Structure 1
Amino acid sequence: MLTEQFVAAISVSTKPNTGVTKDAGIFVHEFQPLVAQRQALKKSAAAPNGIAVSASHIFAAQSEKAIVHVYSREKGNQEALVPFPERIHSIALAAQDSVLLLGTESGRILAWEVCSGRLVSTSTSHLQPVTSIVVDPSSNFFLSGSSDAMIHVWALPTILSFSPDASRSPMQTLSTHRGPISSIACGHSSSTANIAVSISGDKSAIVWDYHNGQALRTYLLPETPTAVTLDPADRAFYVAYADGSLQTIDFYDDVQKTTSIDVLRDSASSHRPIQPPPKSRFNAESQKLGGALCLSLSWDGTAIISGHASGKIALWDTAKSNYLSTPANLPGPVSNLRFLPPTGFPNAPEPTFKIQAIVKPKQDAGLTSSVNGLIPPNYTLNLQLTGRLRSPHVSATEKRSAGRSAFEEALTHSSFPASMLEESLAELDSWAAQPKGASASTADFMALDEGSASTSDSSGKAQQAEVKELKKQLASLQRIQKVTFSQLSELRDENDYFKGQEKKRAERTKTRAKRRTGANGATRKQTNGDVEMNDGTDATSGSESDDTDAADES
């Protein structure tokens, strides 16, 4: 059975005499198949855009505090209380929920690896607090918005790189807004055509091609927006306002129906602001909801929930643009809402690792990088590998499947090639032999997609291509050597086998000869005895004859 849940957080302490668990600030509700509260976590007052939810943990940045609360979803309790040097205004998870990005009050961003404790800081690119952080589906990029009306686009692999030469500055700066950034929503595509939508205090919403730093379309809103979320198919986005109303803004409106050109990406119309029609705005006049503070869209895009200042969570039908019900009434203003991915799909892929417990950031050495660009010797990962590696179909006649390297095939094979182990040991030995102070040019452990900007020059690319070709030749020679040694071993075994067979044949021939010689000697001896016996009989007969003759003569 499919189950869908959402997480809600309030921004102030709980009200007395409400019948809710004391100091409860984060609530886990089941949305389908039965609307009900499933879990309540204590002692939290989360800031707007201040919660991040993984499969195992919930992170909550505390409002007006330099503290992040970490809760275990499995145990249902607070696992850690992590202090930071300054207040945290927004957080987001990236890299399969293994990295927590934190927007600080000073305008910089911290990247905390929750399974190693490593803490990396960017440059102070924002002039005011970072109010919103959103990560694209590939985890190669993330966007940060600030009260200074600026949006920066960052490359996460560069920030997490161990190389001291890695630039921890933004790749792009989107500076069209004229007011503080309230929220940012990122599209669902992992390609370079992905988009992002930002809303600002200047009553505008802008659709961005953040890979190229271009504003695709600008919408003039009727009031100051407070929250935004994107449709699962990236066809439209939804905006919330301070009066509790919502608005649907469709990218492919009536203008798109009359032309074959993608209006959203038409450069000729990108400079013209668009004012959405008033009929696209809807509210629940019969309900005293209060101002809308946050939004979240269901997995299939058919329902949207909004959190309000009154503590109510309203459910809306996106197709009919009308109010449905109030699935929850919390004891404080709802500052954060997050729909969780549905569970219960048959044959759903399992994660390859699980983070059992988070490792607190190392404040003393977390902001320093490696001297020579290599992984520090005290760098350790605290995680659990789950399940088995995916073993593809292996055939002796078919070529290697596209997108799979020799290492991936060796990793899923029953035995690991000795040549690959020797090559790895030789590479490690060459790393250890580098002189102190030398800067090692190592590749990032998380590669950017094909559309990302490359910082290496032509000579570096030529050297990398040459090294890659040499490695291929070395691997071919090692395979030939391995096959040759195998053939020599087989020939040696075959030679020993034939020698053994020849030796056994010679021994059998010698044994037969001995037996034949012994049989011939016995035959000759028996024949000689018979001859001697016959001679004795004749002599006796002769003597008897002589005696008879003598008697006759007398």
Structure 2
Amino acid sequence: MLTEQFVAAISASTKPNTGVTKDAGIFVHEYQPLAAQRHVFKKSATAPNGIAVSSSHIFAAQSDKAIVHVYSREKGNQEAIVPFPERIHSIALAAQDTILLLGTESGRVLAWEICSGRLVSTSTAHLQPVTCIVVDPSSNFFLSGSSDAMIHVWALPSILSFSPDASRSPIHTLSTHRGPISSIVCGHSSSTASIAVSISGDKSAIVWDYQNGQALRTYLLPETPTAVTLDPADRAFYVAYGDGSLQTIDFYDELQRNTSIEILHEPASAHRPVQPSPKTRFNAESQKLGGALSLSLSWDGTTLISGHAGGKVAAWDIAKSNYLSTLTNFPGPVSNLQFLTPTRFPNTPEPTFKIQTVVKPKHDAGLTSSGNGLVPSSYTLNMQFTGRIRGPRVFPTSMLEEGLAELETWGVPSKGSPAPAADFMALDNNDGAMASGSSADAAEFKELKKQLASLQRIQKVTFSQLSELREEKEYFMSEEKGQNVLKHERIRN
């Protein structure tokens, strides 16, 4: 049976709650099939956009200190406390959860390789703290938003490059907003048509073609938005407000349904602001939820959960725009919510590696190397392979045949040229001829003889191995052919 969970984090404990563990700050809650709290992690207070969750760890940037707490999901405890020179305002995972991106107070973005400890910094492109970071599905790009109303698009491979010539500056700057950036969410496509949606304190939401640095559509919102999330099929996005209400903004509204043109990517409509209908906004005033601070969408895209300033987590039916229930009540404002990928799918391939322990960040070794762009000799990765590395069980036939053909030509003289006095395979029988005809020093000749003898031994071993591999392959092919014949005979009988 499928199991779906979500992670919630509070900014600070503001009320006594006898039903919650003391000093609890991060909660892993099962949404289905059985709604219940599964794990609690203590001593954490995170601001919005301040947690990142992988299959093995939870990273939490502390709202009042320049540290990041690292929690082990398998062991259920705090694994490390990682200090930084300045406060971290936002974090996000990239590259199969092996890179942690951190937005700093000074306007830089740090890239921390949690398997090696390598720490790389971008240029100081933002003038104020980086309030949000989002990574696209391919991990080739990430976007950073700041209180300076700017959004920068970065190429992650360039940031992580060991080459001293690699650019660590943004490839695009999106500067349409006029207020601080509250949150950014990225589309689910890995193609060049992928989109991103940003919300700002200027009461607007903008849809971006971030790979080309262009604004696709601007929505004028009724109030200042606090959180945003995107539909799994990129059909709509959902916005939360400070009064506790939510709003659905559909890309494919009535205007889009009546035309065959893709309006969202139509340049002619990019400069026209759109004001969503008030009918798309919904609330549950009787529940006294408080201001909405965070949003997350279930895996199937049918249920929306919202975290509120009063500590409640509410569930909403998207199709009907109705309040469903209050899932749980935490002892502080719910600043972060994140649905996790469902588990227990049938025939799910196992991951090829696992990160047991994170490596604390240290200065980038590539910057102090010789500057040739090569990976430093001291560069190491700390990870565990969970099974056999996927690869062919035997050498391909073409590789074996080409290798044997090349080795066979080594002992055959080329046409039109006299045969050498000593064949490569028979050098030990012509030592005298070579010595007498050579003016080289005796010691040099002796060393050359040793090298050639070593090559001869390697050649013989290689021939033997290739022959054994060919025989082994022919044996397995004959066995498989025999089994197929038996199967056909059984079917006929």
Q: TM-score range by the shorter chain?
A: 0.7 to 0.9
Match of 1:178 in 2: 178
The CA deviation string for residues 53-108 of structure 1, in whole angstroms up to 9 with x for no partner, is: 00000000000211000000001000000000100000000000000000000000
Distance 1:187 1:6, change over 3 A: same
Q: 1:56 & 1:228 partners in 2: Cα distance? A: 26
Name the SS of the counterpart of 2:285 in structure 1.
Answer: coil
Name the SS of the counterpart of 2:268 in structure 1.
Answer: coil
Amino acid at match of 1:385: F
Shift of 1:372: 1.4
2:251 is the counterpart of 1:326: no
Distance 1:414 1:241, change over 3 A: same
Distance 1:413 1:484, change over 3 A: farther
Q: 2:62 & 2:330 partners in 1: Cα distance? A: 18
Amino acid at match of 2:392: T
Distance 1:347 1:483, change over 3 A: farther
Name the SS of the counterpart of 1:320 in structure 2.
Answer: coil
Match of 1:245 in 2: 245
Amino acid at match of 1:300: D
Q: 1:263 & 1:370 partners in 2: Cα distance? A: 52
Q: 2:27 & 2:330 partners in 1: Cα distance? A: 9
Distance 1:233 1:478, change over 3 A: same
Q: 1:156 & 1:369 partners in 2: Cα distance? A: 21
Match of 1:205 in 2: 205
Shift of 1:369: 6.3
Amino acid at match of 1:287: Q
Name the SS of the counterpart of 1:264 in structure 2.
Answer: helix
Match of 2:439 in 1: none
Q: Mapping of 1:297-316 within 5 angstroms? A: 297-316=297-316
The answer (yes or no) to whether the contact 1:14–1:25 under 8 Å persists in 2 is no
Match of 1:123 in 2: 123
Shift of 1:222: 0.2
Amino acid at match of 1:181: I
Q: 1:347 & 1:273 partners in 2: Cα distance? A: 46
The CA deviation string for residues 220-257 of structure 1, in whole angstroms up to 9 with x for no partner, is: 00000000000000000000000000000000101012
Distance 1:161 1:296, change over 3 A: same
**Matched-pair identity in %:** 80
Q: Mapping of 1:357-506 within 5 angstroms? A: 357-363=357-363, 368=368, 371-390=371-390, 411-414=391-394, 480-482=405-407, 484=409
> TM-score, normalized by length of structure 2?
0.81
Match of 2:471 in 1: none
The answer (yes or no) to whether the contact 1:4–1:341 under 8 Å persists in 2 is yes
Match of 1:2 in 2: 2
The CA deviation string for residues 500-554 of structure 1, in whole angstroms up to 9 with x for no partner, is: xxxxxxxxxxxxxxxxxxxxxxxxxxxxxxxxxxxxxxxxxxxxxxxxxxxxxxx
Match of 1:146 in 2: 146
Distance 1:68 1:477, change over 3 A: same
The answer (yes or no) to whether the contact 2:365–2:376 under 8 Å persists in 1 is no
Name the SS of the counterpart of 1:286 in structure 2.
Answer: helix
The answer (yes or no) to whether the contact 1:232–1:300 under 8 Å persists in 2 is yes
Q: 1:330 & 1:115 partners in 2: Cα distance? A: 33
Q: 1:101 & 1:112 partners in 2: Cα distance? A: 6
Name the SS of the counterpart of 2:159 in structure 1.
Answer: helix
Higher deviation after alignment, 295-304 or 360-369 = 360-369
Match of 1:271 in 2: 271
Distance 1:14 1:152, change over 3 A: same
Match of 2:49 in 1: 49
Q: 1:338 & 1:295 partners in 2: Cα distance? A: 8
The answer (yes or no) to whether the contact 1:13–1:44 under 8 Å persists in 2 is no
2:23 is the counterpart of 1:23: yes
Shift of 1:133: 0.2
Gaps of 5+ in 1: 391-410, 421-475, 494-554
The CA deviation string for residues 339-376 of structure 1, in whole angstroms up to 9 with x for no partner, is: 00000111012111100000000148587566211111
Match of 1:192 in 2: 192
Q: 1:328 & 1:154 partners in 2: Cα distance? A: 38
Q: 2:28 & 2:328 partners in 1: Cα distance? A: 11
Higher deviation after alignment, 10-19 or 123-132 = 10-19
Amino acid at match of 2:169: S
Q: 1:213 & 1:32 partners in 2: Cα distance? A: 39
Shift of 1:483: 6.3
The answer (yes or no) to whether the contact 2:365–2:379 under 8 Å persists in 1 is no
2:105 is the counterpart of 1:72: no
The CA deviation string for residues 192-215 of structure 1, in whole angstroms up to 9 with x for no partner, is: 110000000000000000011110
Name the SS of the counterpart of 2:111 in structure 1.
Answer: strand
Match of 1:348 in 2: 348
Amino acid at match of 1:280: T
> TM-score, normalized by length of structure 1?
0.72
Q: 1:348 & 1:19 partners in 2: Cα distance? A: 36
Aligned length: 416
The CA deviation string for residues 302-344 of structure 1, in whole angstroms up to 9 with x for no partner, is: 0010000000000000110110001110000000000000001
Amino acid at match of 1:324: L
Q: 2:370 & 2:153 partners in 1: Cα distance? A: 24
Q: 1:138 & 1:46 partners in 2: Cα distance? A: 27
Higher deviation after alignment, 368-377 or 190-199 = 368-377
The answer (yes or no) to whether the contact 2:204–2:218 under 8 Å persists in 1 is yes
The CA deviation string for residues 141-193 of structure 1, in whole angstroms up to 9 with x for no partner, is: 00000000000000000000000100000011000000000000000001111
Distance 1:330 1:370, change over 3 A: farther
The answer (yes or no) to whether the contact 1:201–1:224 under 8 Å persists in 2 is yes
Shift of 1:389: 3.2
Q: Mapping of 1:41-120 within 5 angstroms? A: 41-120=41-120
Amino acid at match of 1:172: H
Amino acid at match of 2:6: F
Distance 1:17 1:249, change over 3 A: closer
Distance 1:17 1:5, change over 3 A: closer
Name the SS of the counterpart of 2:216 in structure 1.
Answer: strand
**CA RMSD between the two structures:** 2.4
Match of 1:532 in 2: none
Amino acid at match of 2:356: Q
Amino acid at match of 2:357: A
Q: 1:318 & 1:67 partners in 2: Cα distance? A: 37
Q: 1:109 & 1:369 partners in 2: Cα distance? A: 22
Amino acid at match of 1:263: I
Q: 2:28 & 2:411 partners in 1: Cα distance? A: 61
Name the SS of the counterpart of 1:34 in structure 2.
Answer: coil
The CA deviation string for residues 433-477 of structure 1, in whole angstroms up to 9 with x for no partner, is: xxxxxxxxxxxxxxxxxxxxxxxxxxxxxxxxxxxxxxxxxxx98
Q: 1:218 & 1:486 partners in 2: Cα distance? A: 74
Distance 1:282 1:415, change over 3 A: same
Distance 1:84 1:254, change over 3 A: same
Distance 1:132 1:370, change over 3 A: farther
Q: 2:408 & 2:350 partners in 1: Cα distance? A: 38
Distance 1:255 1:72, change over 3 A: same
The answer (yes or no) to whether the contact 1:18–1:331 under 8 Å persists in 2 is no
Shift of 1:388: 2.5
Distance 1:479 1:122, change over 3 A: farther
Shift of 1:277: 0.2
